[in-house]
């Protein structure tokens, strides 16, 4: 081929690549195969369809099965944008820097294997970034509240977005940098319900936000069949396989309470309260106080830094039904007064207040108000059972007893275990959608049960505490009833005359002038 002809062919090919990213990737991009090494980037049909949406929509959220090559597709799209456009600024954010770096590495591999007439000259090329002399660049960072805050972005890629810590402030900051027309691709397998990725996905499906949604099921891959899916069940287990392959939000995530159970509760138990009280309307009432029933009120006091809430629940002891709930930002003194007033209203409910940190200020208000049915904890930490903790709860003078509940490294796992047990058995009745929403983001993080980053667990912990003390409260209630019965029986027996066992103990009275006596035994026989 003559130089002039070659020049025209290159010019034509360059134009085709610039106009069609799919053509560019399929014909000139190489990818690293784990077994075969470097191979041409063959796009499957679902990848080409996804690529079209990248061009048509600014914000794309992708709910995907594992190993469908969407990260690689995002890398190819990034390379195309950098190659054929000037001054494009692309940022990749993932939960770990290595994860974000992997996507940049895919871009670097593709770049390195381009023909010379397509390859832009580099001014920077390292593991975390690639910069061209046309001003376009891509770089990788780990998640952090300041990620993407300081620079205008042409494209933001959120890789495994459902697993990124602090993604709410990240998106709040980055979305401002995209305001001049930048794009965002958020892709992930599911990781539970209630987090940013899930809420954004639901909003996209409902049409209540500006995101375009793409769902990529495992069977879209032409090399996968039912036998492959069954193998994933064996390798991963049914729950994880449903998450990784079927894009199932309900079975995904390491939530303390199974998502399927929570969804069932939301559909069958949750109701609107009969009444919302207070200036903030945050005291929700489902059942008014019944003076024939016994209740327990358990409270979690906010730290006071404005990041969390004070919360309490009221449960009817016998039926384990949630009858009232509070969640709001309130001073410790006012919260103490609210606890006492509400507990008094509910038949002098057993009042349980966590005594950690600022909880003492609320407890002191309860003590100053003279509330008698207050929970006390044993200072002897070798005892963690509520029976021991509650056995001397009224002996305020006992130096081994301290007001409130002590949440320690020993008691916390037991409290959480009680929560999980009751929900697994579906024996507790929950009315609050606020509580269920918190439970959807209450997860095991490094074997510790806590709220996902950016969420609160105030209602969860106060409800778990309610369940923890409920069993003992019920037992003490029943013991009190039996004690009352025995006491009343004893009093009654002392008030009645006893049947005589012989004549010397018989009842007599003088009836004649000479001391004659008449028996009165007939009165008691």
CATH number for the domain including 186? 3.40.50.300
Give me the mean pLDDT over the 279-284 stretch: 91
Tell me: do 140 and 242 sit in the same domain: yes
pLDDT of residue 378: 72
> Has residue 37 got a pLDDT over 90?
no
Give me the mean pLDDT over the 216-243 stretch: 87
pLDDT of residue 133: 94
pLDDT of residue 385: 46
- How many structural domains is the chain composed of? 2
Q: Which residue has the higher pLDDT, 243 or 62?
A: 62
> Has residue 144 got a pLDDT over 60?
yes
Q: Using DSSP bridges, classify how beta strands 89-94 and 155-159 pair: parallel, antiparallel or unpaired.
A: parallel
Give me the mean pLDDT over the 386-394 stretch: 47
**Considering the domain boundaries, does residue 344 fall inside one?**
yes
Tell me: do 324 and 224 sit in the same domain: no
On whether the CB atoms of residues 337 and 353 are closer than 8 A, the answer is no
CA angle 166, 244, 420 (to 5 degrees): 70
pLDDT of residue 388: 47
Q: Using DSSP bridges, classify how beta strands 183-188 and 155-159 pair: parallel, antiparallel or unpaired.
A: parallel
**5-14, 153-162, 445-454, 464-473 — most confident range:** 153-162
Helix (H) and strand (E) counts in the chain: 16, 22
> Has residue 92 got a pLDDT over 90?
yes
> Has residue 422 got a pLDDT over 50?
yes
User: Cα(28)–Cα(216) distance, rounded to whole angstroms?
Assistant: 25
**Considering the domain boundaries, does residue 315 fall inside one?**
yes
Q: What is the largest CA-CA distance in the chain?
A: 159
Tell me: do 283 and 400 sit in the same domain: yes
Q: Which residue has the higher pLDDT, 72 or 249?
A: 72
Q: How many CB atoms lie within 10 A of CB 288?
A: 11
Tell me: do 161 and 97 sit in the same domain: yes
The pair of three-digit structure tokens given for residue 252, joined into one six-digit string: 């995904």
CB under 8 Å to 116, separation ≥6 — which residues? none
Q: Could you list the residue range(s) of the whole structural domain that residue 200 is in?
A: 46-246
CA distances from 523 to 111, 121, 289, 490, 493 (A): 113, 119, 47, 21, 16
Range from 82-96, 181-195, 264-278, 417-431 carrying the lowest mean pLDDT: 181-195
Tell me: do 130 and 205 sit in the same domain: yes
Quickly list H helices, 496-520.
Answer: none
Range from 28-42, 108-122, 310-324, 369-383 carrying the lowest mean pLDDT: 369-383
Tell me: do 73 and 221 sit in the same domain: yes
Helix axes 359-368, 332-345, angle to 10 degrees: 50
Q: Which residue has the higher pLDDT, 63 or 180?
A: 63
Give the pLDDT band of residue 383 (cuts 50, 70, 90).
Answer: very low
pLDDT of residue 484: 44
Category of 9 on φ-ψ map: left (φ > 0), alpha (ψ -120 to 50) or beta? alpha
pTM for this predicted structure: 0.60
User: 101-127, pLDDT tens digit by residue?
Assistant: 899 999 999 999 999 999 999 999 998
End-to-end CA distance of the chain: 133
Q: Which residue has the higher pLDDT, 345 or 514?
A: 345
Tell me: do 215 and 101 sit in the same domain: yes
Range from 19-28, 340-349, 412-421 carrying the lowest mean pLDDT: 412-421
User: 437-450, pLDDT tens digit by residue?
Assistant: 899 888 877 778 88
Tell me: do 223 and 267 sit in the same domain: no
Q: Using a pLDDT cut of 90, give the percent of the chain over it.
A: 47
> Has residue 239 got a pLDDT over 80?
no
User: 510-519, pLDDT tens digit by residue?
Assistant: 656 666 666 6
Q: Where is the domain boundary, 213, 246, 279? A: 246
pLDDT of residue 306: 60
Give the pLDDT band of residue 483 (cuts 50, 70, 90).
Answer: very low
Tell me: do 217 and 304 sit in the same domain: no
Give me the mean pLDDT over the 231-244 stretch: 82
Tell me which DSSP letter residue 269 carries. Answer: T
pLDDT of residue 485: 45
CATH label of the domain that carries residue 358: 3.30.420.240
> Has residue 4 got a pLDDT over 80?
no
Q: Which stretches does DSSP call E strand in 379-436?
A: 401-403
pLDDT of residue 165: 78
Average pLDDT, the chain: 83
Tell me: do 238 and 329 sit in the same domain: no
Q: Which residue has the higher pLDDT, 380 or 394?
A: 380
Tell me: do 215 and 298 sit in the same domain: no
Give the pLDDT band of residue 242 (cuts 50, 70, 90).
Answer: confident
Q: Which residue has the higher pLDDT, 285 or 478?
A: 285
Tell me: do 332 and 467 sit in the same domain: yes
Give me the mean pLDDT over the 455-465 stretch: 92
**Considering the domain boundaries, does residue 56 fall inside one?**
yes
User: Cα(34)–Cα(176) distance, rounded to whole angstroms?
Assistant: 38
**Considering the domain boundaries, does residue 233 fall inside one?**
yes
Range from 179-188, 312-321, 477-486 carrying the lowest mean pLDDT: 477-486
pLDDT of residue 278: 85
Give me the mean pLDDT over the 374-394 stretch: 57
């Amino acid at each position: 081929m003559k130089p002039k002809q070659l020049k025209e062919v290159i010019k034509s090919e360059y134009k085709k690549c610039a106009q069609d990213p799919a053509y560019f990737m399929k014909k000139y991009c190489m990818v690293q195969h784990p077994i075969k090494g470097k191979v041409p980037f063959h796009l499957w049909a679902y990848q080409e369809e996804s690529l079209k949406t990248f061009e048509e929509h600014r914000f794309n959220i992708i709910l995907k099965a594992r190993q469908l090559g969407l990260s690689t597709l995002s890398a190819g799209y990034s390379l195309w944008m950098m190659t054929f456009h000037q001054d494009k600024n692309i940022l990749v954010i993932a939960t770990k820097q290595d994860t974000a770096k992997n996507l940049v590495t895919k871009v670097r591999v593709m770049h390195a294997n381009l023909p010379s007439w397509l390859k832009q000259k580099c001014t920077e090329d390292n593991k975390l970034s690639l910069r061209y002399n046309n001003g376009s660049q891509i770089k990788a960072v780990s998640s952090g509240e300041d990620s993407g805050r300081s620079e205008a972005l042409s494209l933001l890629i959120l890789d495994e977005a459902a697993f990124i810590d602090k993604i709410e402030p990240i998106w709040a900051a980055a979305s401002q940098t995209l305001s001049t027309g930048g794009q965002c691709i958020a892709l992930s397998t599911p990781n539970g319900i209630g987090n940013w990725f899930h809420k954004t996905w639901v909003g996209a499906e409902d049409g209540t936000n500006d995101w375009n949604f793409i769902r990529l099921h495992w069977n879209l891959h032409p090399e996968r069949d039912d036998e492959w899916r069954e193998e994933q069940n064996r390798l991963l287990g049914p729950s994880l396989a449903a998450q990784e392959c079927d894009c199932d939000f309900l079975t995904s995530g390491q939530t303390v309470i199974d998502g399927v159970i929570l969804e069932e509760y939301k559909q069958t138990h949750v109701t609107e309260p009969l009444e919302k009280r207070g200036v903030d309307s945050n005291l929700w009432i489902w059942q008014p106080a019944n003076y024939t029933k016994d209740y327990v009120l358990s409270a979690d006091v906010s730290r006071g830094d404005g990041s969390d809430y004070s919360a309490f629940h009221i449960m009817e002891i016998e039926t384990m039904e949630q009858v009232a709930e509070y969640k709001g930002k309130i001073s410790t003194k006012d919260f103490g007064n609210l606890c006492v007033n509400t507990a008094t209203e509910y038949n002098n409910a057993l009042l349980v207040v966590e005594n950690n940190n600022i909880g003492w200020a609320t407890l002191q208000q309860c003590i100053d108000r003279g509330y008698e049915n207050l929970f006390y904890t044993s200072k002897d930490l070798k005892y963690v059972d509520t029976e021991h903790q509650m056995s001397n709860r009224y002996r305020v003078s006992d130096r081994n007893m301290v007001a409130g509940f002590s949440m320690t490294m020993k008691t916390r796992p037991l409290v959480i275990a009680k929560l999980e047990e009751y929900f697994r058995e579906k024996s507790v009745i929950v009315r609050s959608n606020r509580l269920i929403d918190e439970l959807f983001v209450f997860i095991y993080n490094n074997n510790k049960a806590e709220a996902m980053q950016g969420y609160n667990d105030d209602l969860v912990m106060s409800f778990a505490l309610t369940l923890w003390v409920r069993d003992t409260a019920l037992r003490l209630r029943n013991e009190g009833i039996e004690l009352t019965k025995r006491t009343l029986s004893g009093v009654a027996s002392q008030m009645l005359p006893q049947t005589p066992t012989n004549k010397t103990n018989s009842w007599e009275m003088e009836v004649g002038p000479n001391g004659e006596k008449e028996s009165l035994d007939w009165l008691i026989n």
